[in-house]
């Protein structure tokens, strides 16, 4: 079976090249062709010896993921559905952010050189964020997350994680007719719990950070977790990047029902792990994500409890996320004024708090909406139905 070179970080690719009888600098050249230039064919790699290209063509591939569909939102957000085989498909989302001179609705930019309007639009692209999936489905089964309601099929490989970035970066460059980097930030916030796929995640992160790969800053690569405490400690040692923690509740009693993993790693343990992580983190704060659910976790009392929990304990920033409803959740989005009032309590108490703007919700690309297609091996639908019958609130 052919070896997929997207599965290797630079050290892994160097070891592979050594097995072929090649020196390390050949691995670096190959790595640059794959990730910096987006080459998918060894014949394109003209500075590699023909003998090496022939070896590679006989036993290796650069294997992208088949694109099952692409959708573009009115605000410029783009969502791809990637086929990962076995009846499973995962989603990745590109979110462009523009400066003041940019398109009012964030429409897809015309190519550079397409005229003054196109050049002004390109120049106004302040940041391009790619949200990547790490699993086909998710075993954590958070109540407000569409992915979790689909259940879990399998972990993605390192190559499948990186293929989402490889495809998005080089497809967007081609469309914009530019050789400059389009994706400036990567967030592991797509389908799945990244820290439950640790062995594949870390090599993928290393490729994102490597100057011979995508050259992203540690501050611009974010891993989101629902609180897998032991793996947070390992990530701190192995590859510390920015960390976002899905909190969603100020008490264990409430969080147990929203984030089932809390029963294994309760809030006190989670916050202690956050403080340990900050010793090596590229930022001096942890981002806490808080999905606003009407009548569940959005009262003034909940805001005061959250303030008391976090203030002075963990240097942090709060992201309040409008809930994106889906039929199976049984949950409702908090009214905008309730969200603003919640934020004021936290801000007045001294916590940096932002209300996340919903992007791509017209194509189901917003936070919590990514679902893809999952052949569930965990029978989550039956388990959730049983829980809702026993505890309808």
232 phi-psi bin (left φ>0, alpha ψ -120 to 50, beta other): alpha
Instruction: Determine phi and psi for 85, rounding to 5 degrees.
Output: 85, 165
Distance CA 217, CA 52 (A): 32
Q: Concatenated DSSP letters for 321-382?
A: EE----GGG---BPPHHHHHHHHHHHHHTT-EEEEPPP-SGGGT-STTT---B---SS-HHH
Instruction: Determine phi and psi for 327, rounding to 5 degrees.
Output: -55, -35
Q: For residue 91, indicate whether it is catalytic.
A: yes
Closest CA to 269 of 311, 231, 235, 221: 231
Number of other CB atoms surrounding residue 287 within 10 Å: 19
The answer to whether residues 82 and 89 touch, using CB atoms and an 8 Å cutoff, is yes
End-to-end CA distance of the chain: 51
Instruction: Determine phi and psi for 80, rounding to 5 degrees.
Output: -110, 140
Distance CA 113, CA 103 (A): 17
Residue 124 vs residues 101, 106, 112, 185: alpha-carbon distances, Å: 6, 10, 12, 16
Distance CA 154, CA 160 (A): 12
Q: Which residue has the tokens 């019958």?
A: 389
Of the candidates 131, 142, 274, 367, the residue annotated as catalytic is 367
Of the candidates 91, 169, 193, 289, the residue annotated as catalytic is 91
Distance CA 83, CA 68 (A): 6
Q: Which residue has the tokens 């650069």?
A: 62
Strand order in the sheet with 67-72: 67-72, 78-85, 88-98, 125-131, 185-188, 221-225, 242-246, 286-292, 316-322, 352-355
So which residues are the catalytic ones? 91, 367
């Amino acid at each position: 079976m052919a070896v997929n070179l997207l599965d290797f970080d630079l050290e892994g690719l160097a070891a592979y090249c050594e097995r072929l009888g090649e020196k390390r600098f050949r691995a670096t050249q190959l790595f640059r062709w794959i990730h910096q230039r987006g080459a998918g064919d060894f014949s394109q790699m003209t500075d590699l010896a023909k003998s090496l290209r022939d070896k590679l063509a006989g036993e290796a591939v650069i294997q992208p993921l088949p694109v099952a569909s692409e959708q573009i939102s009115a605000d410029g957000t783009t969502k791809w559905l990637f086929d990962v085989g076995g009846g499973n498909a995962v989603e990745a989302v590109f979110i462009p952010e523009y400066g003041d001179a940019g398109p009012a609705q964030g429409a897809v930019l015309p190519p550079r050189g397409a005229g003054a309007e196109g050049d002004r639009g390109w120049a106004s692209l302040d940041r391009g964020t790619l949200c990547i999936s790490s699993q086909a489905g998710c075993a954590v089964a958070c109540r407000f997350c569409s992915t979790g309601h689909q259940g879990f099929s399998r972990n993605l490989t390192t190559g499948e994680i990186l293929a989402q970035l490889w495809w998005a970066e080089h497809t967007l460059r081609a469309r914009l007719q530019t050789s400059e980097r389009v994706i400036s930030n990567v967030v592991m916030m797509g389908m799945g719990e990244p820290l439950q796929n640790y062995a594949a995640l870390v090599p993928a992160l290393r490729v994102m950070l490597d100057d011979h790969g995508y050259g992203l800053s540690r501050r611009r690569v974010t891993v989101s977790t629902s609180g897998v405490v032991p793996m947070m400690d390992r990530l701190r040692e192995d590859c510390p990047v920015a960390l976002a923690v899905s909190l969603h509740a100020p008490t264990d009693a409430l969080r147990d029902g929203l984030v089932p993993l809390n029963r294994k790693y309760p809030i006190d343990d989670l916050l202690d792990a956050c403080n340990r992580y900050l010793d090596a983190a590229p930022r001096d704060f942890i981002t806490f994500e808080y999905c606003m659910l009407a009548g569940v976790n959005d009262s003034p009392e909940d805001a005061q409890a959250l303030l008391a929990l976090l203030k002075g304990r963990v240097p942090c920033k709060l992201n309040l996320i409008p809930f994106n409803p889906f039929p199976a959740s049984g949950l409702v989005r908090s009214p905008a004024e309730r969200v603003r009032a919640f934020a004021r309590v936290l801000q007045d108490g001294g916590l940096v708090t932002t209300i996340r703007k919903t992007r791509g919700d017209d194509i189901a690309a917003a936070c919590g909406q990514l679902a893809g297609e999952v052949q569930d091996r965990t029978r989550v639908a039956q388990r959730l139905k049983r829980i809702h019958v026993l505890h309808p609130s």
